[in-house]
Amino acid sequence: MTVHPTNWRKSSRSGQQSACVEVGRVAEGAAVRDTKDRAAGYFTADRAQWSAFVAAIKADRFA
């Protein structure tokens, strides 16, 4: 099955920076791609994976 992400967006906190990622919607979760190299593709995460990732960011586990 081919996944076609929609509604790509980057964080409003990114401002005009180009060194960031974009997140798109897929039926069962999220897709992520590099803003500077969109042609390189993207990876997907299901809802549980995406929720765990966001929770880890909010808990500052990547600092």
What pLDDT, in 10s, does the model give residues 6-42? Answer: 999 987 777 777 778 899 999 999 999 998 898 999 9
Looking up tokens 């042609």 gives 39
- pTM for this model (two decimals): 0.77
Q: CA dihedral in degrees (13, 56, 1, 35; nearest 10)?
A: 30
Confidence band of 60 (pLDDT split at 50, 70, 90): very high
Q: Which amino acid is at 39?
A: A
Q: What is the DSSP letter of 29?
A: E
pLDDT attached to residue 19: 76
pLDDT attached to residue 51: 95
Q: Which amino acid is at 21?
A: V
